[in-house]
Amino acid sequence: MLNESISALDVANARKIASLIGVHVEDLAYAGSGVASIAWLIPNSMGNQILKVERLGSQRQCTYRSEARLLNQLSGKTKLAPLVLAVSGDSVTQSGGNWILLEASAGEPVVDGDSMPIALVDSLGNFLCTLHQLPYERYGPLIQAGEKLAGDSADVCSGLRSRWRYAQSWPFDLSALDAHPLRRRNSRLLNRIQSATLGISRNTFSLTAVLHSDLHREHLLAKSGALINIIDFGGAFIGPVGWEFAAIALFLGWPTCDRVTEVYASSRVLEFSRIQFETAMAALLFGLYRYDAEHRRGQLNSQGEVIEDFLRAAVSRLAGTQHA
């Protein structure tokens, strides 16, 4: 069933691209969409494929070429990332726009984080070890040109500001906490966050890596209780490892985050308490960002209380870490 938000122009564009790359237009089936991308399923007797096409007029930077570069580097290191079959080149005018063709991923979205099997959570932790050990240069969203994984920013702070530019990204932008929408709804909580983050500096986040950054349940595909695919690397960026785990904590719950962190720290021989500290600090900043983003989208009535609970937990956890 076609999503009502998909325009006739987007449908025509997808069909044009499919025709140009040798796909039968009649085989295209709507598979899902996001802010910047629309996915189409292509049934194939040799294995289904997914054609992702840039949404027209999205005002978001296309990430298909950097996504393909990242997935190609993961190929052979893990079976959890989709295989890239083809991607649009630097000259996209002849092919109707930006696109990427992927091997379709099997499995169903995982259940709520608290109900995820231990083996599945451990698989996620091991996958992150593989992802986070890829070589990289600079910070921020991955640039589209070149062969290496490289960010668009010279330092961690500017990289975070570049990645999270769709809402207030305090303290990395010029926004002030007094202007944050949480001030009007829960001034006491915002004061606690402000006190907890007094010691933040450019050196707060010592652990950096290439991050997926959007590991919610729809991007984790499972079968028979096992994690078999991880999808949608379009939001990948180079930044603090704590940001990866903070997102997991928000989307899948703190218990899942803790288990993933334990597996990760053990496999990489890293200090667990250090990762806990950086995750709690990142959670406060990421939570504030998400709160403002939901405010801008008019969705605080459904999401505000969830994020406030998340922020309260992060404040408490930060106070209990050895590095706080």
pLDDT tens column, 91-124: 544 556 899 999 999 999 998 777 899 999 999 9
69 lies in some domain: yes
Are residues 203 and 131 part of one domain? yes
Confidence grade of residue 185 (pLDDT, cut at 50, 70, 90): very high
Same domain, 129 and 208: yes
Q: Quote the distance between the C-alpha of residue 124 and its chain's center.
A: 14
Measured in whole angstroms, the distance separating CA 166 from the mean position of its chain's CA atoms is 14
pTM: 0.94
Instruction: Say whether both 116 and 236 belong to one domain.
Output: yes
Cβ contact 161:172 at 8 Å: yes
Least confident stretch, 87-91, 254-258, 296-300: 87-91
Same domain, 166 and 224: yes
- Concatenating the DSSP letter of every residue in 237-281 gives EEEEHHHHHHHHHHHH-HHHHHHHHHHHHHHHT--HHHHHHHHHH
Considering the domain architecture, whether residues 20 and 118 belong to the same structural domain is answered as no
Same domain, 130 and 249: yes
User: Tell me, what's the pLDDT at 199?
Assistant: 81
The single-letter code of the amino acid at 98 is N
Q: Using an 8 Å Cβ cutoff, are 53 and 37 in contact? A: yes
What pLDDT is recorded for position 103? Answer: 96
- Domain with 293, as residue range(s), is 108-320
Does residue 76 lie in a domain region? yes
Residues in the chain: 324
> Domain end: 70, 103, 136, which one?
103
For residues 129 and 78, give the distance between their C-alpha atoms in angstroms, rounded to a whole number.
Answer: 11
The CATH number linked to 78 is: 3.30.200.20
Rounded Cα distance, 100 and 23, in Å: 13
Looking at residue 14, what is its pLDDT?
92
Q: Is the same domain home to 25 and 150?
A: no
How many other CB atoms sit within 10 Å of the CB of residue 90?
7
Specify the DSSP class assigned to residue 137. Answer: B
CATH of the domain at 249: 3.90.1200.10
**Residue 37: CB partners within 8 Å, gap ≥ 6?**
52, 53, 54, 55, 58, 234
Q: How far, in Å, CA of 64 to CA of 102, rounded?
A: 11
Which amino acid, 70? L
| Contact assessment for residue 204 and residue 233, using Cβ atoms and an 8 Å cutoff | no
- Same domain, yes or no, for 135 and 71? no
Q: Does residue 26 sit in the same domain as residue 138? A: no
Share of the chain above pLDDT 90, in %: 80
Q: How confident is the model over 241-276, as pLDDT tens digits?
A: 999 999 999 999 999 999 999 999 999 999 999 999
Arithmetic mean of pLDDT over the chain = 92
Q: Based on the fold, state whether residues 125 and 260 are members of the same structural domain.
A: yes
Backbone angles phi, psi at 158, to 5 degrees: -65, -30
Domain membership of residue 2 (yes or no) is no
Q: Which of the given ranges, 32-46, 99-113, 217-231, has the highest pLDDT on average?
A: 217-231
